[in-house]
Amino acid sequence: MQAAWMIVSAFFFASMAVGIKYASDQFSPLEIVFYRGIVGVFFIAWIARTRGVSLKTSVPMTHVWRNIMGVAALVAWFYAIAHLPLATAMTLNYMSGVWVATFLIAGTLVVGRLADVRRQGPLVVTILASFAGVVLLLHPTLEQNQAFAGLVGLLSGVLSGLAYMQVAALGRLGEPETRTVFYFSLGATLAGGIGMLITGVHAWTWPAAAWLLPIGVLAALGQLTMTRAYTRGATMVAANLQYSGILFASMYGLLLFHTQIPLIGWAGMALILASGIAASFLRARAMPTRPPEDV
């Protein structure tokens, strides 16, 4: 089952998040985005060459829009990882599927199709439940003066939802996953480099610098396997399997960082997880021809 590649992707991304957590002691989110991108450019270029995949594209503007949303989501997510418990940051980013469902409902309201919204009542309830989960999840962070980081984590989910839809569009246009990931890595390198010119560069110190190469490789592998899951597998199945990343992040948080998340926080995570899965099924049933969500 091609969609099962999403479990592999979720593991790579959760492992990458561990590296970001350690590297954040020395480097800013923009610096990590740059190093993550430049490692990805060379790594993916090598993979493309070994596979005989051309990096020339006939849809450059689609890649540009995907990169604008994706890189912005990346910066926000890396900031959240640095300042929130790993599982919390991962959960907020993985709300992308719920945000896509929210966009669907909002779009229906904008065009005045209130009857369609009423028919999608269960989906509306699911979205509201997910936001209740956010309140529960972020309640501990508010008590620890991490409200801004929580809002940035929420923003990463919104932007990721928009970026995922662009990834799916690229797949429908026939772009191979290697090319899609290469241009995303190139976009991250350019954005991170420009950001570093403005904010400055930190000196490399160990062991934080030792994580920069693994971050880039794991990110590239996660992007490749995620793109394959969305473009070759069942979109709905892939969208739900991505939530396994929350499980991986929770295990890492407990084992490596000894994270203490209150029961109310775990309850919020569980509610968001259940709502996200339900939203995927309900959205697919309500809009069977809707373009899939995908980072």
In this structure, of 50-54, 76-80, 283-287, the range with the lowest mean pLDDT score is 283-287
Question: DSSP 3-state assignment of 252?
Answer: helix
Q: What CA–CA distances, in Å, run from 137 to 29, 65, 96?
A: 23, 31, 16
Residue 208 contacts residue 23 (beta carbons within 8 Å): yes
> What mean pLDDT comes out for the span 135-158?
81
Spacing of C-alpha 271 from chain mean position: 19
Q: What is the pLDDT of residues 93-144, one digit of tens each?
A: 888 777 776 776 676 666 666 555 566 667 677 777 877 887 787 776 666 6
| Least trusted range by pLDDT, from 29-38, 124-133, 187-196 | 124-133
Q: What is the average pLDDT value for the chain, to the nearest integer?
A: 82
Q: How many residues can be counted in the chain?
A: 295
Share of the chain above pLDDT 70, in %: 81
Query: Is pLDDT of 182 > 60?
Result: yes
State mean pLDDT over 64-92. 92
Sequence-ordered list of residues with C-beta below 8 angstroms from that of 137, at least 6 positions apart, any chain:
88, 91, 92, 265, 268, 269, 272
For residues 66 and 118, the model is more confident at 66
Residue 108 pLDDT: 67
289 pLDDT more than 50: no
